[in-house]
Chains A and B, each alone.
Chain A
Amino acid sequence: EDKVVQSPLSLVVHEGDTVTLNCSYEVTNFRSLLWYKQEKKAPTFLFMLTSSGIEKKSGRLSSILDKKELFSILNITATQTGDSAVYLCAPMYNNNDMRFGAGTRLTVKP
Chain B
Amino acid sequence: NAGVMQNPRHLVRRRGQEARLRCSPMKGHSHVYWYRQLPEEGLKFMVYLQKENIIDESGMPKERFSAEFPKEGPSILRIQQVVRGDSAAYFCASSPRLLAGGSEQYFGPGTRLTVT
Contact = CB atoms under 8 A, between A and B. Distances in A.
B104 A86 contact: yes
Contacts of A42: 35, 43-45, 59
Interface in A83-106: 86, 88, 95-100, 102-103, 105
A102 B45 contact: no
Interface residues of A, number: 20
A41 B45 contact: yes
A34 interface: yes
Contacts of A105: 102, 104
B112 A41 contact: no
B89 A40 contact: no
Contacts of A36: 42-43
By size class, the interface of chain B is 20 to 34
Given A34-B42, A41-B48, A42-B59, A103 B112 contact: no
Contact of B104 (A34, A99, A103): A103
22 contacts: A34-B42, A36-B43, A38-B99, A40-B100, A41-B56, A42-B43, A42-B45, A42-B59, A45-B43, A88-B107, A95-B112, A96-B37, A97-B89, A97-B110, A97-B112, A98-B37, A98-B91, A98-B110, A99-B109, A102-B104, A102-B106, A105-B104
Interface of B: 33, 35, 37, 39-40, 42-45, 48, 56, 59, 89, 91, 99-100, 102, 104-107, 109-110, 112
